[in-house]
Amino acid sequence: MLVAFYKEQEEKIYLSTVYYEWIENKLNYGDIKQETYDRYNDNFERFFVNYKHPITQKQFKYITEDDIEDYIKSVIRDLELTHKAYEGCRTLIRGIFRLAKKKKYTDISITHFFGDLELSRNIFKRKIVDNEKEIFNEDEIIQVTKYLSDHDDIYNLGVLLVFYTGLRVGELSALKSSDIKGQVIQIKRTEVKYRDENQKWKVEVRDDTKTEAGNRALIIPTHAKTILDKIIALNPNGEYFFENGGKRIRGNTFNKRLAIVCDKLNISRRSIHKIRKTYATTLIDNNVSESFIKEQMGHSDISTTRKLYYLSNKSKQTKLEQIEKAVSF
């Protein structure tokens, strides 16, 4: 009876048991970085721990495909998930069930399950995006860049540089003088944020980029070189390109500064990432070759740039003029 008892305990495997083994393996083997590990854990808490669906209470060997389908449709409905949020949930489900099948906790093939699963687009919450707040229009570009140029401290110059380079904010704050050679900036590191063993947030520079495509030689225009020279004059001896009082300026500081500038100019607040979208749109509208745009943005595929970064940034007056000219019979 004692042997039977311990065997029963060993078989009491739950979804959370498999998740924590899966996520720790991915981190330990270097499949994911610490910040991804933190994001997955946050998602697991949201989608499984706090959302108490019966699937989380079942022993793994008793979970059926019907249970998984009911969980997925219920969590989408109850938490009002967008399609993008659901993708984060699906990543965890795939990882959990692949490991469970490998460990022989289940016979379910999650690949086949998702191949057969039908989800209507109507089930997802639709995120209403105000395109005017996703990008700086042509009038706002003039306003903001003029203000930044006229008030050229190291923070404003950093924000201004993004208009001419499309840098990610983490790449901006991790720049060093040695990365700059004439009109080329070598992007090879980025700022990252993650939780340490005590669950406290840490921010530091990592010696690689956000993605493999992110490691790139960024070509900059002549005016950007002038901005770089001004920054060097303000911080001639710093280890990092952007420092204040000997300390590296963090990426979030640039976002805060941009918000202040937007307030002063009485325009909608936006993040540095919106400047990056503006930069991509500007390149596309000026017929820069797609292969070059992809390199400049640090994207592996131009479809990423066009789908997620390209928006109309024409002013209302320009749009009116364009429609008047186009629809003139």
Q: Which stretches does DSSP call E strand in the chain?
A: 180-181, 184-187, 190-195, 201-206, 216-219, 243-244, 247-248
pLDDT at 159: 98
Q: Which residues contact 217 (CB under 8 A, 6 or more apart)?
A: 184, 185, 186, 187, 295
Q: Of 122-136, 184-198, 209-223, which gets the smallest average pLDDT?
A: 122-136
Mean pLDDT value across residues 52-69: 95
Mean pLDDT value across residues 310-328: 72
- Other beta carbons within 10 Å of 86: 19
| Residue 235 confidence (pLDDT) above 70 | yes
Mean pLDDT value across residues 215-223: 93
3-state secondary structure of 29: coil
Mean pLDDT of the chain: 91
Q: Give me the helices (H) in 82-217, please.
A: 83-102, 110-116, 138-150, 154-165, 169-173
Q: Which residues contact 324 (CB under 8 A, 6 or more apart)?
A: none
Task: Tell me the domain boundaries of the chain.
Answer: 11-123, 131-319
Q: What is the pTM of this model?
A: 0.81
- Other beta carbons within 10 Å of 165: 23
Contact 177, 199 (CB under 8 A): no
Asked whether the CA dihedral 65, 67, 72, 76 is positive or negative, the reply is positive
Tell me the pLDDT band of 186, cut-offs 50, 70 and 90.
very high
Tell me the pLDDT band of 8, cut-offs 50, 70 and 90.
low
Tell me the pLDDT band of 5, cut-offs 50, 70 and 90.
very low
Query: Biggest alpha carbon distance in the chain?
Result: 90
User: Which CATH number does 11-123 carry?
Assistant: 1.10.150
| Residue 157 confidence (pLDDT) above 70 | yes
Highest mean pLDDT among 127-131, 148-152, 320-324: 148-152
* Domain 131-319, second-level architecture: Orthogonal Bundle (1.10)
Mean pLDDT value across residues 52-80: 96
pLDDT at 129: 73
pLDDT at 2: 44
Both tokens assigned to 259? 């918000």
pLDDT at 195: 85
Mean pLDDT value across residues 263-278: 96
Give percent of the chain with pLDDT exceeding 90.
79
pLDDT at 323: 64
| Residue 6 confidence (pLDDT) above 50 | no
Tell me the pLDDT band of 10, cut-offs 50, 70 and 90.
low
